[in-house]
């Protein structure tokens, strides 16, 4: 089933590793719920990421998982990333990797398989489309995600809610009078037709 022109959720993601590979690294994400007029954002610092270590690509993948967390099953989501690796892995390469037993064209193991499969499993629960944006060209929300990821990696204060809302307005995703709620956990599930809008679940 095709997605609507305006999916309910608009998700933006970015990742950063201060030393690639090696870290420390960070993730950054912003998710707008158009239906409930709510926003969730944040970042996570990583100093170790198992045998693979901390890399830019792993932080980019983990930022997608952060963004998709808490979105109810069956909902429509547009994920915007400045990583061609992330988007191509999920939309172009994954089917071939599976056919080849998760081996690359040269016979080596596919890197970051754990995260790619985790995103794919989450994607199967939702209705997701992917969009690429060039990084560092002034896209307001991508710049906020980059700042969130960098702040997480550096363990410094990142953008606040007012900065996130301002970026969403600058990108045309919110109107001047829109004041979205900031949620800390999951978003509300779809309401039956005709049900009055209620409070968001914060899942604290």
Query: Within a domain: residue 191?
Result: no
Domain for residue 192, yes or no? Answer: no
Reported as a pLDDT band with limits 50, 70 and 90, residue 112 is: very high
Q: What is the mean pLDDT of residues 69-95?
A: 98
- Burial environment of residue 85 by CB neighbours within 10 A (0 to 12, 13 to 18, 19 or more): middle
- The mean per-residue pLDDT over the stretch 127-140 comes to 96
Res. 52 pLDDT band, cuts 50 70 90: confident
Catalytic annotation, pick one of 23, 26, 43, 60 = 60
> How much is the pTM?
0.92
Burial of 58 (0-12, 13-18, 19+ CB in 10 A): buried
Could you say which DSSP state residue 24 is in?
Answer: -
Active site residue 69: no
Other CB atoms within 10 A of residue 202 CB = 13
How far are the Cα atoms of 4, 42, 75, 160, 204 from residue 26, in angstroms, in the given order?
A: 32, 10, 27, 16, 22
Using pLDDT thresholds of 50, 70 and 90, give the confidence band for residue 58. very high
Render pLDDT for 85-107 as a digit per residue (tens, 0 to 9).
Answer: 999 999 999 999 999 999 998 99
The fraction of the chain above a pLDDT of 90, given in percent, is 86
Q: Is 146 a catalytic residue?
A: yes
| Residue of 49, 75, 82, 143 marked active site | 82
In the prediction, which pLDDT does 185 show? 83
Structure confidence at residue 3 (pLDDT): 75
Q: Is the pLDDT of residue 1 over 70?
A: no
14 given a catalytic annotation: yes
Looking at residue 201, its pLDDT comes to: 34
What are the residues whose beta carbons fall under 8 Å from the beta carbon of 193, sequence distance 6 or more? none
Per-residue pLDDT reduced to its tens digit, 7-34: 999 999 999 999 999 999 999 999 999 9
How far is the C-alpha of 172 from the C-alpha of 141, rounded, in Å? 10
| Residue 75 annotated as catalytic | no
What range does the domain containing 177 cover?
A: 9-182
Please check whether residue 187 lies inside any domain of the structure: no
Tell me what the mean pLDDT of segment 172-191 comes to: 91
3-state helix, strand, coil in the chain (%, to 5): 35, 20, 45
What does the pLDDT average to over 135-160? 97
Q: Please give the Cα distance from 103 to 101 (Å, whole number).
A: 6
pLDDT band, residue 126 (cuts 50/70/90): very high
Q: Tell whether 18 is covered by a domain.
A: yes
Cα(79)–Cα(127) distance, integer angstroms: 11
What pLDDT score was predicted for residue 191? Answer: 62
Q: Tell me, yes or no, whether 30 lies in a domain.
A: yes
- Of 193, 81, 71, which is closest to residue 123 (Cα–Cα)? 71
| pLDDT at 167 exceeding the cut of 50 | yes
Residue 159 lies in a domain: yes
Q: State the total domains in the chain.
A: 1
pLDDT at 5: 81
Kindly state the percentage of the chain with pLDDT values over 70.
Answer: 92
Give me the CATH number covering residue 68.
3.30.420.10
Assess if residue 198 is contained within a domain. no
Give CA–CA dist 65/47, Å, rounded.
Answer: 18
What is the distance between the alpha carbons of residues 201 and 73, in angstroms, rounded to a whole number?
15
In a domain, 1, yes or no: no
**3-state DSSP assignment of residue 30:** strand
Integer CA distances (angstroms), 60 to 25, 28, 55, in order: 10, 9, 9
């Amino acid at each position: 089933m095709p997605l609507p022109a305006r999916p309910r959720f608009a998700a933006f993601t970015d990742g950063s590793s201060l030393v690639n590979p090696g870290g420390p690294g960070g993730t950054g994400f912003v998710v707008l719920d158009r239906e409930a007029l709510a926003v969730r954002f944040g970042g996570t610092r990583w100093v170790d990421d198992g045998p693979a270590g901390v890399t830019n690509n792993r932080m980019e993948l983990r930022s997608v998982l952060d963004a998709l967390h808490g979105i109810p099953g069956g909902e429509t989501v547009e994920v915007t990333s400045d990583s061609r690796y992330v988007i191509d892995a999920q939309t172009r390469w994954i089917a071939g990797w599976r056919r080849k037993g998760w081996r690359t064209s040269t016979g080596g193991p596919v890197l970051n398989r754990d995260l790619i499969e985790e995103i794919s499993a989450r994607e199967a629960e939702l209705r997701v489309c992917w969009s690429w944006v060039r990084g560092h060209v002034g896209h307001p929300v991508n710049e906020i995600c980059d700042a969130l990821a960098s702040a997480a990696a550096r363990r410094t204060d990142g953008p606040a809610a007012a900065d996130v809302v301002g970026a969403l307005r600058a990108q045309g995703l919110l109107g001047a009078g829109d004041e979205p709620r900031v949620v800390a956990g999951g978003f509300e599930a779809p309401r039956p037709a005709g049900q009055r809008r209620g409070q968001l679940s914060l899942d604290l």
